[in-house]
Structure formats: C-alpha cells, structure tokens
Structure 1
Amino acid sequence: MKKIGLIGYGWLGSRIYNDLSSNSEIFATTTSLQKVEDMRSQGIHAELAVFNESEKEFPDPWSIVPDLDVMIITVPFSEKRTSQEILDKRLSKLFSFIGRYEKQIFFMSTTSVYPDEPGIFREEMLPVESVFVENKIKKAFPQVNILRLGGLMGDSRLLKNFKMTDVSGIVNHIHYKDIAAVIITMIEKGINGKIYNVVAPLHPSKQEVIAYQNNLPIEASHENNKQRIISSDKLISELDFTFAYPDPKKFHLI
C-alpha cells in the first residue's frame, strides 16, 4: 500500500482523498485547526499547513515526507488573482514544508494559464517555463507532473447551479472523478515529468449543458471553431486514458 501526501484537503483534495484512500494510506493537510480536528475524528491523518504570505514564520518541514511514495499538491496558486511577489512567498513556504523530495509528485495547475481567446490550446503551446508558478514548482521538483485542470465539476457543483448572464460560450470542464483517475493511472504507470491538460474531451456550449441538466430541449451549437478549446488529446494518447465523464452535459449522472 502506497503512502500518499495530499497537500490541500479542500473541495478537490477531499474528493481525491475519497477516490484514492481505498488502496493507499493518505496523509493530508488543511488550513484550520478545527478542520484538522474534524478530519482526525474521521480517522484521517491530518496536519495543519498554512502557506499565507502574512505568516512571518516558515512552517516546520512535514515529518512524514521521507516515508511518502507520492505527493499531491492541490493548494491553489492563482496568477490572475495574486501578484508574483506574494506567490513567491507562498511557494517558498510550500517548499520549506515539503523539503527535499525526489519521488513522484503532482501539482494541480489550471487551464486559465492559456490565453482567453479563440483557438485550440495544447500543452506544447505554453511551456512550463512561461508560467511563473509552474516554472517555480518545476525548478524545485524537476520530476513533477503538472496537471492543468479545467473547470472543476461534479456532485452538486454543476453548471445549472451557477448564476450566469452569458451562456453562449463552450465549456472546458472536468469531473473530479476523472482527475482522480488520471492521478491513479499515472501512479500505476510510474510517470514523472509530464504536463497534461485534464479537460473533458467534449466541449458543449454552456446553454446546452444547463438545458440538459435541467431536462430541457436545446439545439446543439456548431460554432466550436470560434471558441477557446483546451485539448486533452495528449493525455488520452499517451496514457491510453478513457474519461468516465467525457461529456460535461452529463456530469450530474452517476
């Protein structure tokens, strides 16, 4: 049984935990003492880890790291909402917490790193060196697998539940179960040093998704060539991966 470190037990991290915990021993971190207590009461190995730039002290190195076989980082580092100076401080705290680690490691990035313009975007069009956070992670851990995630969906997190004024564009979404499945596949194959777009291969319009999830009729859109599409072809080809939820319209179906 592998030992996995999960840094960030939030919306996504908790779901990755649920999908991986049956075959692995997982050690997770969270950002509040109350949540640490709640997690421990459920039998989860939990530690407090805060990477806030306002904290003066660096966190102590995570004592379990030398025993881990895999590390998964789901803590968000948004370049659109935060300055590079602040991100650099947060990343320094993260690196201090992890310390020296040379085994398999995953970093959850985002497809928001791609330009917000029409076109089909593939991994090689935006190398890691051109993305501040990804580049810093790669320099610290050359073996890191970087997963650029589409819009996170699943459970009650469905497009029909969002308040939207513009429903004309297409979606680049991903069901959390497919994220976990990608990680499991890469762990089993022992893959290191890869970068993948993790996005459902179908890209219906927001209008189509909302109508389908509300059981309403809607005509399919035929204007995808004028939209911003994030391609997952590399992931499908190199991992021989089959999405459990390829169609975002059906993310509400079990």
Structure 2
Amino acid sequence: MKKIGIIGYGWLGARIEASLHNTYTFSVTTTTQDKADELKNRGINPRVASFMDYQLASPLLPWDEIKTLDVIIITIPVSEKSCCVSSLYNRIQNLSSFIGDFEGQIFLMSSTGVYPNTEKEFIEEDIAVNSISGERMIRNKYPQVNILRLGGLMGDNRLLKNYNISNLDHAVNHVHYADIAGIISKMIERKLESKTYNVTAPAHPTKSQVINAQKNINDTGEVMEVKGKKVLSSKLISELEYVFQYPDPRFFHL
C-alpha cells in the first residue's frame, strides 16, 4: 500500500484523506498540537509544522516521514493572491527545507484563479506555469510536480447557496472534492509526473442555476446568457479518460 504525505491538513486535505484512506496510508502536517493529537487518535500520522511567510531563523527540520513516502500532496496556498512574491519565496523555501530533495510523485493544489476574469474558455496552455510565481518556483525545485489548477472547492458543507453571491448570470468553475481525490488516485496509479491540469466539473451552469437547484427552486425554462470565464478540464478528461463522479455543479448537494 502506497503512503501519501499531505502538507496542509485543512478542508481539502481532510477530504482527500477520507476519500482515499482505504487505498493508501497517510502522514499529514497540521499547525496545532491539539489537531495533531486528534489525528493521532484516529490512526493518522501527524507532524506539527507551519510554513510561515517570513524567513525562519533556522530551516525547518526535515520531515522524518519523508523517506517512507511515495507521494506528497501540497495543499498550502502558493499563489501571489495569498501573499506577496517575497513572502511566497520564503514559504516555498521553508517547504523545500521540510521535504528536501524528494523524488517521488508530488501534487501541487493550485487554482483556476491564475486565469483572468475575462469572458473566454481557458485551457492550460493559455497561462504558462512559468508566468505564475508559485507554480514556477515549485516546478523549478521539483520538476516532477503535477500542478492541479482547482476550481471552486465544493461538497459537504460548501454549497453556493450559503454564500453572498454577485454576478448571478456568470458561469461557475466548481469541482467536487471527491473528483479531486479520484483524479489524484488515477494519476498515482499511472505514475504521472510533470502534468498541468485544470480540474473543474465539465458543466458550467450559471451561479443562479446552481443556487436554484440547491434551494429546490425550479428554473423557469428561460434561457439565460451565460457570462464570464469558463475553465475547461477537457485535457484531463481526454488524457486520463477520467469520468467525473460529479459532472454538474447543480447536483453537488445530492
């Protein structure tokens, strides 16, 4: 059974582990000792580690689990939207001190936020990895990294109807966490490296349509012009022959 390390056991990391715990064993990082104790009681091997944005007085001690891991999944934010470039550089330097010269499979959870908010259908080649600071820094250090540009994370308690939403006639670029886990598992099985994929559900209904579906409000049948950007996962579907478990965001809550 392969062993996966998740760096950043937050909302997404927890759901990836829960979705795949029957297939893989896990070691994870968390930022508090209380959370580490809870995870240890559940049979998950935790390490308390915080990848701060400032330059640490001394490098993070290497992850003692690193030699036993086959795969690393990085869920901590590595985008310029989460911090400035210099802080991002420090965060990635701290990360590299932690995992060293790891040569196994690596997955970086990036975002469809790398694409501009223009009315266009975007594919991976529209924005090169080298033009995105976080993606570039990670790939320069770990050329084998698979970069997954995730749409809006949905499923469980995350439903669009629970948020204050504007631009209701704009398309959604959402993905259910179960499909993220399924795609990672398939890529592990195929031993894929150095891939960049958009990860969004194939259907892109409007925000209004998604909210109405979640509130059990029947659409009037009026055809609404769908505005905004659409980030396409057609490359992933073609290359992986992946069939989405949740292809339409209108039904993520079912």
Same fold (TM over 0.5): yes
Distance, in Å, in 2 between the alignment partners of 1:229 and 1:90 is: 30
Alignment of 1:14-163 (within 5 A): 14-54=14-54, 55-163=56-164
- Cross-structure match for 1:223: 225
Taking structure 2 as the reference length, the TM-score comes to 0.96
> Mean Cα displacement is larger for which, 109-118 or 71-80?
71-80
Deviation, structure 1 residue 223: 2.3
- Cross-structure match for 1:9: 9
Distance, in Å, in 1 between the alignment partners of 2:230 and 2:25 is: 37
Q: Does the Cα contact within 8 Å between 2:79 and 2:133 map onto a contact in 1? A: no
Distance, in Å, in 2 between the alignment partners of 1:169 and 1:32 is: 39
Q: Deviations over 1:180-234 (max 9, x none)?
A: 000000001111110000000100000000001110012365423x420000000
Distance, in Å, in 2 between the alignment partners of 1:24 and 1:237 is: 26
What one-letter code is carried by the residue in structure 1 that aligns with 2:170?
G
Distance, in Å, in 2 between the alignment partners of 1:222 and 1:70 is: 44
Distance, in Å, in 1 between the alignment partners of 2:223 and 2:88 is: 39
Q: Does the Cα contact within 8 Å between 1:19 and 1:177 map onto a contact in 2? A: yes
Taking structure 1 as the reference length, the TM-score comes to 0.96
What secondary structure sits across from 1:105 in the alignment?
Answer: strand
Distance, in Å, in 1 between the alignment partners of 2:222 and 2:2 is: 45
Alignment of 1:197-208 (within 5 A): 197-208=198-209
Q: Does the Cα contact within 8 Å between 1:174 and 1:199 map onto a contact in 2? A: yes
In the alignment, structure 2 segments of 5+ residues that lack a partner are none
What one-letter code is carried by the residue in structure 2 that aligns with 1:121?
F
What one-letter code is carried by the residue in structure 2 that aligns with 1:60?
L
In the alignment, structure 1 segments of 5+ residues that lack a partner are none
Distance, in Å, in 2 between the alignment partners of 1:141 and 1:59 is: 18
- Alignment: residue pair count: 252
Q: Does the Cα contact within 8 Å between 2:6 and 2:27 map onto a contact in 1? A: yes
What one-letter code is carried by the residue in structure 2 that aligns with 1:234?
K
Distance, in Å, in 1 between the alignment partners of 2:222 and 2:35 is: 44
* Closer/same/farther in 2, CA of residues 152 and 130 from structure 1, 3 Å limit: same
Deviation, structure 1 residue 116: 1.2
Identity of aligned residues (%): 48
Distance, in Å, in 2 between the alignment partners of 1:156 and 1:64 is: 32
Distance, in Å, in 2 between the alignment partners of 1:252 and 1:95 is: 38
What one-letter code is carried by the residue in structure 1 that aligns with 2:31?
T
Q: Does the Cα contact within 8 Å between 2:118 and 2:229 map onto a contact in 1? A: yes
What one-letter code is carried by the residue in structure 2 that aligns with 1:27?
S
Q: Does the Cα contact within 8 Å between 1:205 and 1:221 map onto a contact in 2? A: no
